[in-house]
Chain A
Amino acid sequence: MFFTYLGRELRRRMRQASFIALGLAVGIGLVITVTAASSGLKNAQGTVLHSLYGVGTDITVTKAPSRGSGGPFGFRVQGQGGSSASRRKAGTKFSRSVLVAGSLGAITSSSVTQIAATKDVAAAAGALSATDLTVSGKIPTSSGSGGAPGGGGGFGGGGPTSIKTNTFGVLGVDVAVGRVGPLSSDKIASGKTFTPAEANSDVALVGANYARQHKLAVGSDVTVAGTRFTVIGTVAEPQGGTTTDVYIPLARAQSLAGMKNQVNTIYVAAASAADISAVQQSIKNELPKATVTTSSDLASQVTGSLASASSLASSLGKWLAIAVLAAAFAVASLLTMSAVSRRVREFGTLKALGWRSRRVIGQVMGETLAMGLVGGIVGVALGYAGAALVSGLVGPLSATVGQNTGSASPGGSQAFGPPGGGAFGRLSDAAKTISVHLTAPVTASAILLAVLLAIAGGLVAGTFGGWRAARLRPAAALAQVR
């Protein structure tokens, strides 16, 4: 009798029932779409962060450059190179190739060991982020400012075409610790990665893009700071990220840059996500002058359309979904109460026949629950469609991380890889922009949420209607007929 009565009644009020179900479906569909988009944006942010400093890295440690070292961009030229340009005659050709560290300060390698031994640290690896700078051309004819010994300027005078520069990014990586650091998320596209035995070898990995541009393959030679390295593998582009141009063993990078036993970035993996804050504090205590940045610190500095979309989804999107759902619940409740009012005689008759109030209420709630469940099913379908639209129509989103002016501000781009851009742009440590495609996955938890919302919608509407029905006194209900 229960289901027979329920089905017949919903069929009689098909239009109204469909309206209620559709309203709930739209609200639920919107909740699922927003949830899926938020989930996708979170995944995209994770991808961005991982591409910057690798999967498994929870904390990075950098340091501001000390006063007076290098120029305004922290430019230091040390180590190998040709004789001073001031001893050459004007018009003489020259070429000089050096490996320069970015504007990050130096950290001793012993700090890496110290951090690795810290409580709740799973692994720590040092790296040297640098730029290979090749300057070539003819000595200018005018006196100009001359060359600043060991300095970054001195290229005044002469024609604008007399001096050429070429740069590419170099990252010295600790070949013994593979599971933390920027190379940990990169996949080897061809060849092989470093082995611990190659810690002091002149072997290199090149980024896939760089290899394509310069026609490099496994077995090719690449010159870093005047030293020839053999390419043993190429590194594929991580999704939404970029690779460094050339990776060489840390010890070789330190030697070429004249920074023996020094690094300028330390990548740290905590034992668990819950330990990150404590590890961060421990490292700050051990290295008071260092900048210790966690993934959440970095996430807060991500700008660009990805950040805007995340903000939009979490604020406007969330509240819009809640508002639509609340409106759907309210409409369902009002329509149910209205339907109960129209059935006063019917319920009065049932009570006269001996039906208990709870049986009558149960009938009303059964009808609204059925509408809610239909709304939930349609809502899930709408949610899937909405998520698919988001995935299909939203173009690539950009994420820009930090911009460094010479000081090691937290999350500065050079903390996570060699600077990008060409020529002196590299040395100015421009902000790093990553493109990522947004997907909006509909998760099992989102579907479960939809089902719960559907049931809640039915119960809320049924409660109002049932309350109305329960208050009916049979005599009063039947008297309304007259």
Chain B
Amino acid sequence: MYLLSGVTKTYKKGRERVPALRGVDLVIENGEWLASQGPTGHGKSTLLQILGALDRPTSGSVAFNGQDLAAISESRATKVRATSIGFIFQTFNLIPTLSAQENVEAALVPLRIHSGERRSRAAASLTQVGLGDRLRHLPSELSGGQQQRVAIARALVKEPTVLLADEPTGNLDEGTRDEIIMLLEKLWRELGLTLVLVTHDSTVARRAQRTGLMEDGRLSVDGARAPMT
């Protein structure tokens, strides 16, 4: 699924050059669950953004399903994000003026799906995450856990092959954290997704098949992949 070779990312802050990634090599198999752990500011989210074609590396290659995400055009990258990659963010990032159903529908807009089908698929996706009775609620009318469920539904409604989650439980309490992680695990198993999850929480990271540790822009991944149970 993913083959990263010598990926570096350097940011400019005034005259200073800040290396976020220093030569990352990584292979992620189809259907694998990889958790990336590490202190804040060491490149975990940067790696996730490069995997999701949200950003480009300064050097190196990012092979994904036969194409190099580092070299493709912006329009192609947009298409990849629209069809193949689902995102979940720490702060949920729901559109505040749209209802739960409409937020999920927003992910289907780039696919030019008829509005009727959009609505029904969005409703089904929300039902799948246990929010079938909250379709018309605005984000402000939902709890944190419910908002993250909407975000998960939005990420999955387009049936992506990859789900990228950036600290999905970072803003949630312990109980809700467990709920969300269990939901993600359930969906990962049922849908056969490739799941890459960034977290600073060891409890969450331990549930993944494989764990990588990001330190100072370098990734070390434990070689063994835990079997899917």
Contacts and interface: CB of A to CB of B under 8 A. Distances in A.
B26 interface: no
Given A351-B78, A354-B79, A354-B81, A9 B97 contact: yes
B32 interface: no
Interface in B77-115: 78-79, 81-83, 87, 89, 91, 93, 95-98, 102, 105-107, 109-111, 115
B75 interface: yes
A475 B166 CA distance: 12
A197 interface: no
Contacts of B83: 354
A353 B107 contact: yes
A355 B110 contact: yes
B52 A352 contact: yes
B218 interface: no
Contacts of A1: 102, 105-106, 109, 115, 118
Interface string A182-202: 000000000000000000000
B82 A353 contact: yes
Contact of A474 (B54, B105, B158): B54
Nearest to A352: B87
A473 to B, nearest CB: 7
Contact of A5 (B55, B97, B115): B97
A351 B81 CA distance: 8
Contacts of A228: none
Contact of B93 (A345, A356, A473): A345
A8 B93 contact: no
B54 A359 contact: no
B149 interface: no
A353 B91 contact: no
A1 B115 CA distance: 8
A478 B54 contact: yes
B54 A475 contact: yes
A4 B97 CA distance: 9
A11 B96 CA distance: 12
A352 B164 CA distance: 11
Interface string B34-75: 000000000001000100101100000000000000000001
Interface string A451-480: 000000000000000000000011100110
A352 B93 CA distance: 11
A87 interface: no
A5 B95 contact: yes
Contacts of B106: 1, 350, 353, 355
B96 A12 contact: yes
B48 to A, nearest CB: 10
User: Which of B89, B97, B107, B158 has the most chain A CB within a 10 Å cutoff?
Assistant: B97
B210 interface: no
Interface in A74-88: none
A43 to B, nearest CB: 50
Where chain B touches its partner, the secondary structure class is helix
Contacts of A12: 96-97
Nearest to A10: B97
B7 to A, nearest CB: 14
User: Which of A1, A9, A345 has the most chain B CB within a 10 Å cutoff?
Assistant: A1
A356 B87 contact: no
B54 A349 contact: no
Contacts of B97: 5, 8-9, 11-12
Interface residues of B, number: 30
User: Which of A12, A352, A355 has the most chain B CB within a 10 Å cutoff?
Assistant: A352
Nearest to A347: B95
A346 interface: yes
B109 A352 contact: no
Interface in A1-36: 1, 4-5, 8-9, 11-12
Contact of B55 (A346, A349, A359, A473): A473
A350 B94 CA distance: 10
A352 B165 CA distance: 12
A342 to B, nearest CB: 11
Interface string B175-198: 000000000000000000000000
Nearest to B55: A475
A359 B109 contact: yes
B171 to A, nearest CB: 11
B54 A346 contact: no
A348 B89 CA distance: 12
A313 B97 CA distance: 46
Contact of B91 (A8, A352, A481): A481
Interface of A: 1, 4-5, 8-9, 11-12, 345-346, 348-356, 359, 473-475, 478-479, 481
Interface of B: 45, 49, 52, 54-55, 75, 78-79, 81-83, 87, 89, 91, 93, 95-98, 102, 105-107, 109-111, 115, 118, 154, 158
Across the A-B interface, the 8 shortest Cβ-Cβ residue pairs: A354-B82, A8-B97, A475-B55, A354-B110, A349-B93, A475-B54, A354-B81, A474-B54
28 contacts: A1-B118, A5-B95, A8-B97, A8-B98, A12-B96, A345-B91, A349-B93, A349-B95, A350-B106, A352-B87, A353-B81, A353-B82, A353-B109, A353-B110, A353-B154, A354-B79, A354-B82, A354-B107, A354-B158, A355-B78, A355-B106, A355-B109, A356-B78, A356-B110, A473-B55, A475-B49, A475-B54, A481-B89
